[in-house]
Amino acid sequence: MDTETQLQAKCRYIIFRNEANQYTVARFQRTDEKGEQFTATGRIPHLETDVTYRLSGTYVQHPRYGIQFQVSECVRALPDDRDALIRFFSGSHFSGIGPAMAMRLVDTLGNSLCARIREDAACLDLVEGMTEKKKHAILEGLRESGAFDASYAFLLANGLSARQIGILEEHYGDDFIQVLEEDPYRPFFEIDGFGFRSCDRLAEHYQVSEDDARRQRALVYDMLIQHCFRSGSTYVQEEALRKTLWQQFGFEADEALHVLMEKDVLVLEEGRIYDHRQYEAECVIASRLNAPDTRSALPDDFDAQLAAVQEELNIVYDDSQKAAIRGFFTHSFMILNGGPGTGKTTVIRAILLLQERLSPDAEVLLAAPTGRAAKRLSELSGRAASTLHSLLKWDLETNTFLVNEKDPLNADALIVDEFSMVDSLLFAALLRAMTSHARLLLIGDQNQLPSVSSGKVLQDLIESQRFPLYCLDTIYRQSQGSGIAALAAAIRNEDPLSFEGDVRFIRCNAEQVQQAVIQVVKNALDAGYSAKDIQVLSPRYQGAGGIDVLNQVLQDVINPADSFKRELKVGYRLFREGDKVLQLRNMREDAVCNGDIGEIVEIIPSEESVDHSAQIVVAFDDQIVEYEQDTLSYLTHAYCMSVHKSQGNEYPVVIMAVLPQHRFMLSRRLLYTGITRARRALVLLGDPQLFAAALKQEEREQRDTTLQLRLSQNYPLPAPLPCE
């Protein structure tokens, strides 16, 4: 049994793995005609289930577990030419060519199809389902991507998509393979969308050792990025980073940190280590906002004009609202803070009408962080509003903004709603794009969850006490939704809680929550609410009261299967015509944004599609979007979603689960954000005592930022790093 053996097998499942020393026990199945399963053991750097590997090693007799394969080498197997070609032709270079069409291409024209097509494009007519549009896409894709060769097969086999390969080629030119051979981690530092894991897989196959300096530098950078992503911080303490690297990976970080700082990838400041982008963002925010406030004198007839606006809107503003309105026309920068029902929207309306009266030619722009928040702002104000990414003309491929200090916004004033959702990088980009004469009004609720990405910008701006701040505290919502506003105010002010009026709290446990949700949803539907009006929220994805299970349950209640509705399985999700769905990524070309909610109006099965690739057609508020093979993963069900995903939206009816299983996810900000999504009715399901206890719980992981420090008057601001 000591003879060295080489074989090809697929990893079925991992029995045991020690990440510290990479010792692994896994079950494999041979891919040859034998197809037998066996147990393999040994130090295996990277292993994924359902992936085929080339194994080298020997069979040994274990005294307890019998015959096992002792691995000396384990590398991911290159696919055969057919598999690689199918992935190549269904990649981003070939618009509208899905896996089904790519498979027919290869099966019809063979593995030398690239040469055949270049020699005589008429051979494409032999392929079933070929159209002139697809023929053009194939020829254009081949022209752009160059020849398919062993390099493509190698990169595809190691987890890169054809789109990523195209980006590498565009970024590094024809020598991109040589660039990767010299340093497979280089794209991680230089190109958005290339993570450490992708580059690490490549490095393994380029035989880069674990203690290689290039890998250690990438590990240091990845650890910093992951920490900031998880915690929302803009930096990590140097001592903590060094300790983690030593404990988890066993190396001193001196050389790696020195090189990364020398290259301006990282910035060290007073024991804090920043990603240079976060450091630059804080410096930009502080330097722009620390400029002297350009105060303006109000016109003599301002009070008369305000009185006329009140009469036009049939509203009488209180003193705090009038102060906020005056503040907009007095200061170049101000913050308006307030909870639901306190009249923030009516203040915006007054500002817009007064601006028209006082300066008819002034350009006032409205924006919000998400598509839904922008649409809501537009509906409430009666004016057009856009997302911040759209306003700044975000370029998806380069992750940069085309509107910037070189080509700034043409605006005399900008009003940004739902500002608590804005992170440091986005706010810095916005400030870069604004001219010095433009007014800026930020509207938010500091009690809501902070941004998903790094920073706590609204909180830092308010707590710095450096800027004009106007707070609206009086609740004016007297009809439907008044109980919700009162509960929100009680949470803000730490007053006794009251679940009255349009707020109900139904006691239930994890076993009962599904039935409770179903009953409440049915009651709401019977009361005349639509599926679009009802939103279920949960703090986590797993478990009986989790998002995944509740989406399945609610799909069967709200949109049950019948013979007239087509269905399509995408991964583990089953989509059905009539489903309420959530957009997970920005698609600028289709004008849909992360967080938008739509309805599936048609599913086109592959056998009826022109290119034999299944499609889903979704209706959003004002457009129809078609999803093909490469964008189907951008959709998920929206019957139940996380509180974070709901932020920026409001719904007539909100049902929120608060269960013991959610204990470690709950905090005051999360619960406050969840309940303030409700406009007319709020139903809480779970344990009232847990709800009350969670209100005393702040976020478990503190967000560390230095924006307040930079905003303090006497703190020296370093020169910003060169813009990328």
Q: How far is CA 580 from CA 44, 141, 559, 576, 599, in A?
A: 43, 35, 9, 9, 5
pLDDT of residue 146 exceeding 70? no
Q: How far is CA 379 from CA 372, 547, 606, in A?
A: 10, 29, 39
Q: How many CB atoms lie within 10 A of CB 63?
A: 5
What is the pLDDT, as a whole number, of residue 719? 46
In this predicted model, what pLDDT tens digit does every residue of 158-192 receive, in sequence order? 667 666 777 888 888 878 888 998 999 999 999 88
Residue type present at position 632: L
Q: What angle do CA 609, 612, 615 make, to 5 degrees?
A: 55
What is the pLDDT, as a whole number, of residue 15? 87
Tell me if 398 is assigned to a ligand binding site. no
716 DSSP 8-state letter: P
Q: Please provide the average confidence, as pLDDT, over all residues in the chain.
A: 87
Side-chain half-sphere exposure of 492, counting CA atoms within 13 A: 23
Side-chain half-sphere exposure of 124, counting CA atoms within 13 A: 21
Residue 368 zone, left/alpha/beta (φ > 0; ψ -120 to 50; rest): beta
Burial of 721 (0-12, 13-18, 19+ CB in 10 A): middle
Which overall architecture, per CATH, does domain 498-606+614-694 show? 3-Layer(aba) Sandwich (3.40)
Tell me if 344 is assigned to a ligand binding site. yes
Q: Please report which confidence band the pLDDT of residue 152 belongs to, taking 50, 70 and 90 as the band edges.
A: low
Structure tokens belonging to residue 336: 């308006």
Question: Sheet harboring 439-444: ordered strands across?
Answer: 386-387, 364-368, 413-416, 439-444, 333-338, 469-472
pLDDT of residue 81 exceeding 70? no
What is the pLDDT, as a whole number, of residue 310? 92
Structure tokens belonging to residue 460: 């830092």
- Range with lowest mean pLDDT among 206-220, 263-277, 285-299: 285-299
Spatial separation of the C-alpha atoms in residues 561 and 358, rounded to whole Å: 57
The span from the first CA to the last CA of the chain, in angstroms, equals 58
Q: Scanning the structure block, which residue is given the tokens 């159209």?
A: 131
pTM metric for this prediction: 0.77
What is the pLDDT, as a whole number, of residue 544? 85
User: Where are the domain boundaries for CATH 3.40.50.300 in the chain?
Assistant: 302-472, 498-606+614-694
Q: How many CB atoms lie within 10 A of CB 397?
A: 12
More confident: 248 or 590: 248
Structure tokens belonging to residue 2: 């000591």
User: How would DSSP label each residue in 293-304?
Assistant: P---PPPTTHHH
Burial of 1 (0-12, 13-18, 19+ CB in 10 A): exposed
Side-chain half-sphere exposure of 56, counting CA atoms within 13 A: 5
Residue type present at position 391: L
Question: How does strand 534-537 pair with strand 469-472?
Answer: unpaired
Tell me if 578 is assigned to a ligand binding site. no
pLDDT of residue 292 exceeding 90? no
In this predicted model, what pLDDT tens digit does every residue of 467-490 receive, in sequence order? 999 999 887 755 555 789 889 989
- What residues contact residue 558 under an 8 Å CB cut-off, 6+ apart? 521, 525, 531, 580, 639
Tell me if 343 is assigned to a ligand binding site. yes
For the chain, what is the largest distance between any 2 Cα atoms, rounded to a whole number of angstroms? Answer: 99
Determine the 3-state secondary structure of 401 from DSSP.
strand
Structure tokens belonging to residue 657: 């689960």
Question: Rg of the chain over CA atoms, in angstroms?
Answer: 29
In this predicted model, what pLDDT tens digit does every residue of 620-657 receive, in sequence order? 877 888 898 778 888 999 999 999 999 888 899 999 99
User: Where are the domain boundaries for CATH 2.40.50 in the chain?
Assistant: 5-76
- Range with lowest mean pLDDT among 172-176, 241-245, 272-276, 670-674: 172-176
Query: Measuring CA to CA, which residue among 43, 40, 39, 41 is closest to residue 22?
Result: 43
In this predicted model, what pLDDT tens digit does every residue of 501-529 receive, in sequence order? 899 999 999 899 999 999 999 999 999 99
Query: Measuring CA to CA, which residue among 86, 83, 72, 45 is closest to residue 212?
Result: 45
Determine the 3-state secondary structure of 635 from DSSP.
strand
Tell me if 345 is assigned to a ligand binding site. yes
What is the pLDDT, as a whole number, of residue 476? 74
Spatial separation of the C-alpha atoms in residues 44 and 156, rounded to whole Å: 21
Query: Measuring CA to CA, which residue among 383, 396, 417, 425 is closest to residue 592?
Result: 396
Span 84-99, average pLDDT: 77
> CATH class for domain 302-472?
alpha beta
More confident: 653 or 13: 653
What is the pLDDT, as a whole number, of residue 37? 87
Give the domain 5-76 fold: OB fold (Dihydrolipoamide Acetyltransferase, E2P) (2.40.50)
In this predicted model, what pLDDT tens digit does every residue of 396-407 receive, in sequence order? 777 789 999 999
CB 575 within 8 A of CB 561: no
